[in-house]
Structure 1
Amino acid sequence: MVARVVTVAFDGVEARRVDVEVQQVATPAGAFAIVGLPDKAVAESRERVRGAFAGIGLALPPKKVIANLAPADLPKEGSHFDLPIALALLASMGVIAPDALDGWAAVGELGLDGRIAAVGGTLPAAMAAGAMGLGLICPEANGPEAAWAGDVAILAPRSLIGLINHFRGTQVLRAPEPGPVTTGGVVPDLREVKGQESAKRALEIAAAGGHNLLFIGPPGSGKSMMAQRLPGLLPPLTPQELLETSMVWSVAGLIQRGALTRDRPFRSPHHSASMAALTGGGLRAKPGEASLAHNGVLFLDELPEYSAQALDSLRQPLETGEIMVARANAHVRYPARFQLVAAMNPCRCGLGGSGRGACGKAPRCQRDYQNRISGPMFDRIDLTVETPPVTAADMALPPPAEGTAEAAIRVATARAQQEERVRAAGFDPDKARDQAINARASGETLDRFATPDDAGRALLMRAGEAGGLTARGWTRTLRLARTIADLDGSTGVLRRHVAEALMYRRTTVGAQGDFDRQTAHRSETPAF
């Protein structure tokens, strides 16, 4: 007799159906084979299943056991296949009725004493089970996480013996409750940052429109401090964003006891991180830092110290919002729509080419150091802000009158304007959601809402004709000007909004200034 149990294999954050089939054949006695393209962790399931059976007082049948994972050409990775293999074997042995497993999918890792250990990916597994019209059997520790899948029956046993007793009617397992949703964690306040008013303004603009931001300044000028305060300016995750982000974190095994958070992710990997650490990959193609920052912020401190390969691997996700991890036998797709915030020193010694302690090799040292970042990467950064050294006079000033709370209100108002504007335009819901943040606006949305007035267009044309803007830079300048106009409460994009946007664009590296920054200053000095 062949016993079957449904489980899943993960393809990025998607869970694909796998049927576990177990059959006993006559010879050779005591052998246990797992087929169906298993990896090392799946192949070792036979020993964990053997040990778990011994732990609860059961012996394997005196026949050869074959466990087939279908479809056979789909790679199977991970320890979550332990439980479905064990359940199919129990049904094959007659310990539980074969029809008891009808209507259920299962995931879980077995301990040698029969306990069921937590695994990653329970939330997408539960959602996939619901889409197939099935319930899900998962470890007790993953029960609160799986319960977030909605109207899906969940069984979350602590051990294999408890699950056997439930199916035999001697014990009843109650459905778990969803874990808590937390929000409003303690975040540093902008009031703690002395001076750097122009950088704070840029931080607020970046938060309002979801724009990429780069701080350049000497050590101790507050670059990291301001970046760490960005999450306090951002609105909480929407329900759909919460689900998307939680799916990625579930696959990575980072959800503890089913607790979800509406705070936007803030990931800050060390500059020694490899390309695989940033974009995902490795033996099991786990999500990288860029995907873990989905719908949140990826902060790269000491930007030029990252390897060129690692940095350039972020260029595609900055445009498309997703990462494709290409492997020899599979292509794994992860969402990665993050906001990039970076910080760097002006040169290797950190002090730049002016002021006390200036670098003696300037401007060559600055050009060489900043040229570690490719031009296409710079072109994807919307705001580049210089943070001068904080003086003793700045430190002696009282705390600023405005902090994170006041700036967050302006950011929330600007984002609400963006959402309402796109919603009123009558776009379909999927397009409206994608275009509801200025940093993502394109095509018709950009033409309708970000076209500047005649004076602003003329200023933008002069910057473009002088070679100061690429086609991508033109589009990103319009998006940035639209955000500045939203913060200004303006329905249209005016010349002053375009001028301020151009001031933040960086088109060259090293000691020479940018055309667009200089043009904006010359054209708009009286206005400021």
Structure 2
Amino acid sequence: MVQRVHSGAVYGIDGYDVTVEVDVRRGLPTFQIVGLPGTTLRESRERVLSAMRNSGLSWPSGRVTVNLAPADVQKQGAAVDVAIAVGISACSRDDPPPPVRRDAVLLGELSLNGELRPVRGLLSIVTAAAGRGASVFVVPGVQAWQARLVPGITVLGADHLADVVAWHRTGAGLRECEDADEPRRAPEAPREAVSFFALSAPAARRLAVLAAAGRHDTLLVGPPGTGKTRLCRTIGALTPACSCEEAVEVTRIQGAAGLARRAHLCGERPFRAPHHTVTRAGLIGGGAGLRAGEVTLAHHGALFLDELAEFAPAVLDALREPLEEGRVAVSRGPGARFWPANFQFLGAMNPCRCGSFGSSRRACCCTASARARYGNRLSGPLLDRIDLFVEMEEAADWTLHDGVVEPRAVSALWEEARSQVTTAYARLNRISGAAGGSRRSPELSECRRWLDRDSADYLDRAKRSLGLSIRSLIRTARVAHTVAALAGRHRVRRS
């Protein structure tokens, strides 16, 4: 008798259904898993065998064959461990479970003593299964809060294989989990970001507030030691927390990538800072096993590229489409998958190879042609997609005594800036979604709604005299709209 148990797996950041079919027949005692199991799944034979024996469950004496359907998709991860064990146990019974338990989705990795361990990509798997009509899910107890983020389903948390088998047989032994009671916690700003913001010049503080309020793509250029890196991190810390919908999406992506370490839904935005040796697949996604790239891991957050000119030009040019469209196409096999990539780009670079061009303290040793080659590592189309270009200047005579600021004054400056950013961000989203999920490439007609007549005429004249592209015109209007929102206005007016 063949037993079928529903489970799931994750491919990239997307979940998909896996049907576990178990057949036990007479013959030499063997245990075989077919259906393109990955390395982790091939090793599940030992986990399942030990877990069942240590849970007091009998092991069939005949030939055990497990098929993972669909058979043409390679299965990665250990989320089907529990389903395999339950299917093998069910083969020893003649009475099938009722549909409510037969159609349930069982997820969980097994330890050798039968305990259920968390699985990678659980939220993606549950979301996909719920989309095709599944309504009952049995998941590891420590991950029940993730499954409860999907509305309209019944979630049963389990800690041990014996409890799952008992529930599958009798319907008793597991309790329905209530809605996630862990609050979405507001992120706390790093102490170094708060201190740096308080010590920065007023112009730098204004830049940080402007970039954070509009989530503007920003490039800082200047000699070493001018605070480029710390200012970019400060911008990331100033950006308002995710909305509930954004936090769920961030949790889903991080869970599928194996990065979710919290036991609650958190509103902190991702801040990704890959090294300049990152490959194109590492930045965009793909590679062996179809991994999410940095642009997807930074979704709803910030992607910070320090030493921007040191990145390979081909890698940087791969950012064009994500910066424009807010998503990335990852080709694998016969088709392409579209993954979200709506991030704020933050870049920092030196003006030349030695870094001293424009410095008042050090002489530049680069030739004019060397400086040109260094700057040409960034293509024109990429630069055309950046909102704010800022040349960082070295601070004037600064002493250690300048770093002594009253803690209350530091907190007051930071809280005032956070308040300005939060208010302006909410105003922008309320008016047009310019800073939120639809911030990528608004139509020119939409941008004109933000401007009064004088401002629109002035921008048209600037376009003709400076030769601005349509993309540059739109990004200029976005920055002006953010400035107006920080000033408490709904529309841009010329002053």
Distance 1:191 1:360 in 2: 30
Question: 2:256 aligned with 1:251, yes or no?
Answer: yes
2:457 aligns with: 457
Distance 1:199 1:186 in 2: 18
SS in 2 for 1:407: helix
Per-residue deviation, residues 416-452 of structure 1 (Å, max 9, x unmatched)? 32233238xxxxxxx99744x5x553254223224x6
Per-residue deviation, residues 222-249 of structure 1 (Å, max 9, x unmatched)? 1112111123422221111111111111
Per the TM alignment, residue 261 of structure 1 is displaced from its structure 2 partner at its CA by 1.0
Q: How does 1:94-493 map to 2 (within 5 A)?
A: 94=93, 98-99=97-98, 101-131=101-131, 132-168=133-169, 172-176=173-177, 178=180, 179-187=182-190, 188-189=193-194, 192=197, 194-256=199-261, 258-328=263-333, 331-393=336-398, 397=402, 403-422=413-432, 434-435=437-438, 437=439, 440-450=441-451, 453-454=453-454, 457-458=457-458, 460-467=460-467, 469-493=468-492
Per the TM alignment, residue 251 of structure 1 is displaced from its structure 2 partner at its CA by 1.0
Distance 1:322 1:392 in 2: 45
Per-residue deviation, residues 170-201 of structure 1 (Å, max 9, x unmatched)? 97333445244221313321664534433332
Distance 2:239 2:478 in 1: 18
Per the TM alignment, residue 293 of structure 1 is displaced from its structure 2 partner at its CA by 1.5
Distance 2:208 2:399 in 1: 19
> Does structure 2 conserve the Cα–Cα contact (< 8 Å) formed by 1:199 and 1:386?
no
Q: Cα gap change, 1:168/1:318 in structure 2, threshold over 3 Å: closer, same or farther?
A: same
1:83 aligns with: 82
| Unmatched runs of 5 consecutive residues or more in structure 2 | none
Q: Cα gap change, 1:96/1:180 in structure 2, threshold over 3 Å: closer, same or farther?
A: farther
> Does structure 1 conserve the Cα–Cα contact (< 8 Å) formed by 2:7 and 2:105?
yes
Q: Which amino acid aligns with 1:343?
A: A
Distance 1:14 1:192 in 2: 39
> Does structure 1 conserve the Cα–Cα contact (< 8 Å) formed by 2:59 and 2:89?
no
Distance 1:460 1:415 in 2: 26
| Of 244-253 and 109-118, the range deviating more from structure 2 | 109-118
What's the RMSD between the two structures over aligned residues?
3.0
Distance 2:95 2:357 in 1: 73
Q: Which amino acid aligns with 1:184?
A: P
Per the TM alignment, residue 407 of structure 1 is displaced from its structure 2 partner at its CA by 2.0
| Of 370-379 and 47-56, the range deviating more from structure 2 | 47-56
| Unmatched runs of 5 consecutive residues or more in structure 1 | 424-430, 497-528
Q: How does 1:55-70 map to 2 (within 5 A)?
A: 55-58=54-57, 60-70=59-69
Q: Cα gap change, 1:455/1:89 in structure 2, threshold over 3 Å: closer, same or farther?
A: closer
Distance 1:274 1:373 in 2: 16
Distance 1:228 1:341 in 2: 9
SS in 2 for 1:412: helix
> Does structure 2 conserve the Cα–Cα contact (< 8 Å) formed by 1:285 and 1:332?
no
SS in 1 for 2:240: coil
> Does structure 2 conserve the Cα–Cα contact (< 8 Å) formed by 1:434 and 1:440?
no
| Of 231-240 and 9-18, the range deviating more from structure 2 | 9-18
Per the TM alignment, residue 11 of structure 1 is displaced from its structure 2 partner at its CA by 4.4
Q: Cα gap change, 1:126/1:459 in structure 2, threshold over 3 Å: closer, same or farther?
A: closer
SS in 1 for 2:483: helix
Q: Alignment length, in residue pairs?
A: 484
Q: Which amino acid aligns with 1:206?
A: A
Q: TM-score, normalised by structure 1?
A: 0.82
Q: Which amino acid aligns with 2:184?
A: V
> Does structure 1 conserve the Cα–Cα contact (< 8 Å) formed by 2:212 and 2:239?
yes
SS in 1 for 2:158: coil
Distance 2:50 2:94 in 1: 17
Per the TM alignment, residue 140 of structure 1 is displaced from its structure 2 partner at its CA by 2.8
Distance 2:223 2:95 in 1: 68
> Does structure 2 conserve the Cα–Cα contact (< 8 Å) formed by 1:144 and 1:257?
no
Distance 2:118 2:493 in 1: 55
1:519 aligns with: none
Distance 1:62 1:455 in 2: 82
Q: Cα gap change, 1:190/1:360 in structure 2, threshold over 3 Å: closer, same or farther?
A: same
1:516 aligns with: none
Per-residue deviation, residues 351-379 of structure 1 (Å, max 9, x unmatched)? 11452212122433322222222222211
Distance 1:421 1:114 in 2: 54
Per-residue deviation, residues 55-83 of structure 1 (Å, max 9, x unmatched)? 33545423332222223333322221222
Per the TM alignment, residue 33 of structure 1 is displaced from its structure 2 partner at its CA by 2.9
| Of 226-235 and 238-247, the range deviating more from structure 2 | 226-235
Distance 2:398 2:47 in 1: 66
SS in 1 for 2:149: helix
Per-residue deviation, residues 13-69 of structure 1 (Å, max 9, x unmatched)? 442222221122445x22333333333323333333233334335454233322222
> Does structure 1 conserve the Cα–Cα contact (< 8 Å) formed by 2:10 and 2:77?
no
Q: Cα gap change, 1:443/1:83 in structure 2, threshold over 3 Å: closer, same or farther?
A: farther
Per-residue deviation, residues 87-111 of structure 1 (Å, max 9, x unmatched)? 2121112299543732410122222
Per-residue deviation, residues 285-318 of structure 1 (Å, max 9, x unmatched)? 2322222211111111111122223222222111
Q: TM-score, normalised by structure 2?
A: 0.87
Distance 2:185 2:95 in 1: 40
Q: Which amino acid aligns with 1:404?
A: W
